[in-house]
Structure 1
């Protein structure tokens, strides 16, 4: 059985709007929420990037009993894993109906801001494994120290802890990360209809499997394509560019090569037919995912909520 979620897109909306969207998503009938955790938006047009952990404090007061996940945090450079452990423990304590911590190896766009060297992916995976170990260690309570190859924690104790530690899902976009996620994660977190879920499962992965679908709903498909091209052209960038460009300005320069035709051919769903959205979710489920969350691109969230509440979500009740 699939759980359907809604993306709180930190790159496109101010924090108070994200809190309102969270309440509206629960009211509409979504099963869970996911919030992105970035220091920068992808491009300047998106216009926002509030601190996700502060936003979650507001969200916790605006919702009743819908679970929330961070998708995903990078606990290896910009934020030390001990601080992530404290932030996640606090939020989990405020969200007794469910919290999930998604973690990954990050993008240069967000992590370079502290001036540290940006390691290759294999090294970042090693750092991520250490970070997850630190977070779990601190969640066990008591005074803890840790000395690893990449991180040190000295005499740290978390005094505010949830009754149960939340699951830690590991993000993966390729086979090496999928295998690592199976080794030390409590589940898998990814974006789009990727087949990494099969690699993860073959490597012994167990737990929930999250994936995001990006859509741009408008009554007219041409309007949806134009909106997606204006607000989220970065999704159509080829290869591994998204992981290695350092600033929104660089993304804007790269996105000059993205046309509206590229958006039509991308994974962004712009068809206003409800059947297309139902089919897209069903395809993700058939691929092996049991949690599918939907990102509505652009300013118009109200029409999206109405459309999904009336035309899409009822198909999965």
Structure 2
């Protein structure tokens, strides 16, 4: 049995979710630069081959974008939430790419991984296995990537991936932190066992967090003999603020696919199909995943519930098209209130 480390608390961080499904790469870089100026601690970007919505959608590649935004910023952490290192990419290629980014921007790069979505893989003619295999592929990919970061010469013969006499020549001094994105107990438990961080999203039934996900995370941490604070707990918090309540509500419309259930979108691989399904949803259901309010104090109260649950890294996703307005408002009104209430 592993010796339990001394417990430690993760620092409290506030991040910006750069909406790669909604904006082009150049806009997102400028938004991220402004996020750093406004006091955000991190910037995360999804890595989608296709967007959620066909009309007005975007899907910039995460790897070149991270390199570009790293060059324009100096402090914020940069990561994916999430990238799938198991289908479109061989995990060894991702190990090389993120090692390069981490050499360029030391201690600022995070690799967030997940098991994938049909929207990103099926269109490319790739086989789309059932969830248990996708889970095992992710687990094996993490083992291979870490082996390449930690060893000079690697031969790896796994169930799904293999390398022979492989070397990542440009490696950072510290291995890249890996965060696992999950909305179910198995992957959440895995995050507790082996990951540096855990990513999930807001706006779901509170009992999912209290009764399923957080207990699974703790179970994984305890089984691995790790400290309770060893895993950074990242919550993507979906927020919509505007002085007009109706405008704040309507801002969420572009992100209607988020309100579809897992069953409704599981095998959808065409953005046009996804858009059509989402268009049928009433605005009340569309907005259900978001904190929608005209009052900054109400935002702080709602966000604080996730901090009280134990989430230490809150990454804010605003659905509106005026991202500079959101970043300035949150940087001036919300982040100071949160830091005053919960400390740094």
Interval containing the TM-score (normalised by the shorter chain): over 0.9
The answer for the alignment partner of 1:217 in structure 2 is: 241
The answer for the alignment partner of 1:271 in structure 2 is: 293
Residue by residue, what CA displacement relative to the aligned partner does 1:112-151 show, whole Å, maximum 9, x if unpaired? Answer: 2331211111111111111001100111242322111111
1:106 and 1:243 in contact (8 A); partners too? no
Residue 154 of structure 1 aligns to a residue whose secondary structure is strand
Q: Distance in 2 between matches of 1:146 and 1:203?
A: 25
1:101 and 1:169 in contact (8 A); partners too? yes
Q: TM-score under structure 2 normalisation?
A: 0.87
2:234 and 2:313 in contact (8 A); partners too? yes
The answer for the alignment partner of 1:304 in structure 2 is: 326
Q: Distance in 2 between matches of 1:156 and 1:15?
A: 32
The yes-or-no answer on 1:133 pairing with 2:143 is yes
Q: TM-score under structure 1 normalisation?
A: 0.94
Residue 307 of structure 1 aligns to a residue whose secondary structure is helix
1:42 and 1:251 in contact (8 A); partners too? yes
The answer for the alignment partner of 2:263 in structure 1 is: 240
Residue by residue, what CA displacement relative to the aligned partner does 1:204-255 show, whole Å, maximum 9, x if unpaired? Answer: 26411111011223231211222211x1101111243333211111211211
1:188 pairs, out of 178, 192, 198, with: 198
The answer for the alignment partner of 1:106 in structure 2 is: 116
1:78 and 1:112 in contact (8 A); partners too? no
**How far 1:198 moved relative to its partner?**
2.6
The answer for the alignment partner of 1:15 in structure 2 is: 25
Residue 270 of structure 1 aligns to a residue whose secondary structure is strand
Any unmatched runs of 5+ in structure 1?
A: none
Moved more, 271-280 or 193-202: 193-202
Residue 161 of structure 1 aligns to a residue whose secondary structure is coil
Name the count of aligned residue pairs: 315
**How far 1:258 moved relative to its partner?**
0.9
Report runs of 4+ in structure 1 exceeding 6 Å deviation. none
Q: Distance in 1 between matches of 2:258 and 2:13?
A: 24
**How far 1:316 moved relative to its partner?**
2.5
Q: In the TM superposition, what are the counterparts of 1:15-164 in structure 2 within 5 Å?
A: 15-164=25-174
Distance 1:224 1:46, change over 3 A: farther
2:215 pairs, out of 173, 198, 202, with: 198
**How far 1:260 moved relative to its partner?**
1.1
2:123 and 2:270 in contact (8 A); partners too? no
The answer for the alignment partner of 2:279 in structure 1 is: 256
The answer for the alignment partner of 1:175 in structure 2 is: 185
Root-mean-square deviation (CA), in Å? 1.6
Residue 241 of structure 2 aligns to a residue whose secondary structure is coil
The answer for the alignment partner of 2:5 in structure 1 is: none
Distance 1:157 1:186, change over 3 A: same
Q: Distance in 2 between matches of 1:252 and 1:304?
A: 25
**How far 1:177 moved relative to its partner?**
1.6
Q: Distance in 1 between matches of 2:304 and 2:187?
A: 25
Q: Distance in 2 between matches of 1:56 and 1:273?
A: 33
Any unmatched runs of 5+ in structure 2?
A: 1-10, 223-229, 340-344
Residue 43 of structure 2 aligns to a residue whose secondary structure is strand
1:72 and 1:104 in contact (8 A); partners too? yes
1:188 and 1:210 in contact (8 A); partners too? yes
Q: Distance in 1 between matches of 2:57 and 2:100?
A: 28
**How far 1:200 moved relative to its partner?**
0.8
2:192 and 2:231 in contact (8 A); partners too? no
Q: In the TM superposition, what are the counterparts of 1:274-293 in structure 2 within 5 Å?
A: 274-293=296-315
1:89 and 1:139 in contact (8 A); partners too? yes
